[in-house]
Structure 1
């Protein structure tokens, strides 16, 4: 049985049990079903990359319970607004303001009353113009699930009284930060699919870049908006060299750099260079600077790993997270040697949320390979291949295991 099938079976097995468990505590079956659907969709998107939790039913119940609370609070807020509106005089219609529709729609789709999953789906549909079927294919969920998610998101916006106009200026920064997170998620899912037969989902990366350009046109002085656009350009520039003719994954150090998109690299470098000189530092800018260092190296051996290590150290201060920690381990190994990376990984794994993730096994395998321990490297490559749901990654890791086994 494939990992994808295993997850689908788990979701089917636990869905009704979680609905009943939640309904016993909350009483409203319809609202509980809505909350559980949110949890199921979250699991379908997160478990392939993060791994199945030790207690799947408990995970689903916790997420569904939190979402039920959010829905209940939003309903209460809506009722209070409706009561207040009934006491106010209705203003006459006036002229349509000359606001930018794209930006307004961006901010509306990322309304704080919506879950992140709903924000992503609604942004792709309303702003990106992707069909429901295209969105469903991009996230490997049934089309009916996405259609229901979008429909409920629109209903939620109506219920909370969200209108098609620019939010007040004091809300812009928070809303734009949410838009950036949504675009970052869309781009990452397109660049390295969490599961399925293809490594890249070009319709998602292309759309994320297009929308990031539009956002930058509206907020040209925002360093993080510019940083995200630069990061996307510098990362997507390597796309054609990431896979072979058969779709197999090619590691960054082994890519044919003549196939990289030099125009995109030049644009990304120009954007991030200008932005770092005049804007407060943020995580997207740091990531773009790291991507620029990789892209500007003529050969893998000439990569400035010391500067990359320093940037990951800064990233751990500005926006810490398990993947940032893991990437810093790789950079440390490239500067101080594979054993230094292995020692750091062993010290971090137990308490950093990294335990059991396939990328931990992949990094450990790579470092063991560099250290000359091919037998141990093979074992971890095989474990990583079993845990990832992205088929090109599975094939790549299995091939590395086989290569280590021949050494």
Structure 2
């Protein structure tokens, strides 16, 4: 075997092909072993197969888009076919010689479960490899009832999902909850309004109860990761602002989810807008979360939207992002009002700066509606398989495909 045939060659970081949904991840650092390179290259191939959809893609196209040799691509595809993840999708018309075989991803070969643990509601979804929601359930949840009751509710809702949710084809569970939390260690911090959860190892508790690998992240991060998958070129920068029972942000910068040095980025709701404002559940005064929720409780969505817009304008000024996406039950109750209020604040900021010739920062309600966080939570499990940057998953999913 020549060096050109070996999978130890790392795919070139070429620009994404038209069918790709995101940028290729950076090659592993110097000295990476063969298993790491295999995982990296397999993720590239899987990502292109998913992006191609039912129409599929040929071996030569995969080689051209990844920079791998046809021999390396064939070896990866052989493993994926043994695992049941890839199947033939027919043949292309020949331009001379043998018609090329087209291969496609088998979405139902594996599943992921996504959980959105809100302060008063649990949403559970079962998602296939293509990111399609197979089943979803919503139930009341009392985060203040304590860990045993919360774990019981989660286990009960997963038991009510279809049989696929209990099959060996489930790769793992993505759990999204209000922050702050430690994504790396899977530990909740002082969740606003629920101080008793401070220091609770929610990831490990869920894994022990459910018998599956679990990854934990903030609700806003999960939603932002799921939305980033829909990016046409995978390189944009946006903020997802979630106003529901609380207020937070998920940040995607240059196509990658940004968690910060201590995985605490996105506590957008606790920037102070009014020094002598109302007391926030976090202990400070005048936080944008407290101001917005106060106006929403008074049934003043236009004023809540104006306040949210001022805070969003600060974020745009700081990060120079491409656009702002809105979500959460409070936004979804008056979507047009919130889009208008935030867009007006951004337009006013542009006028003050003299950016009259610059296109306005787009503001829109995020896709996915009330299920956006749960869908994104499932993607916490799926993303590493498809080469999404910044999405390590502690389960055996990647190892299975090497």
- Counting strand residues as a fraction of each chain, which structure ranks higher? 2
Tell me: higher relative CO, structure 1 or 2? Use CA pairs within 8 A at least 6 residues apart: 2
